[in-house]
Amino acid sequence: MLLILFITILLIFVCVVIHYEALYRFDNLCQLMNIQGRIKVAAGSIWVLIAHTIEVWLFGLSYYLLVNNIEKNSLVSPQGEVFQSFMDSVYFSFISYSSLGYGDLVPAGPIRFMAGTEALVGLVLIAWSASFLYLKMETNWNKN
């Protein structure tokens, strides 16, 4: 459990830094390339989607490594089928990060802490992205 707690805290830190840097560098890149108007909003949308995807894949990689090395049988279906593939781990990460939670993959054991925390991290970072894009729309929507 302590290892999962440490990995989760590390993932939170890494995801927040990735997100901050993505947003900060997007603004700098737009100034450098003189990108303005609605193109800036569209490019910002793609940029934040890429940042979110990287963050989800980091969590997915962590699930995969944990499920196959330390926390075996931690991702299961409601019927008890065990999932251990990398893509299953990434899929589970996407549904956790977005708080969608279909229920076809369920965490078992201590890995539940990481899954719950990922949902919270996803919620906060998605809200941060929405705020960022709203500000870009407010200042750039009617330009060009």
pLDDT attached to residue 134: 94
pLDDT at 144 over 60: no
pLDDT attached to residue 121: 98
- pLDDT tens digits, one per residue of 1-46: 899 999 999 999 999 999 999 999 999 999 999 988 888 889 999 9
Domains detected in the chain = 2-140 (1.10.287.70)
pLDDT at 49 over 70: yes
Find residue 106's DSSP bridge partners.
Answer: 76
The answer to whether the CB of 63 falls within 8 A of the CB of 114 is yes
pLDDT at 131 over 70: yes
Q: Is 84 left (phi over 0), alpha (psi -120 to 50) or beta?
A: alpha
pLDDT attached to residue 91: 96
| pLDDT (average), residues 58-87 | 91
pLDDT at 73 over 90: no
**Measured distance CA(85)–CA(98) in Å, rounded:** 20
The answer to whether the CB of 44 falls within 8 A of the CB of 135 is no
Q: Rounded to two decimals, what is the model's pTM?
A: 0.91
| Beta strand 106-107 pairing with 75-76 | antiparallel
Q: Is 103 left (phi over 0), alpha (psi -120 to 50) or beta?
A: left
pLDDT at 142 over 80: no
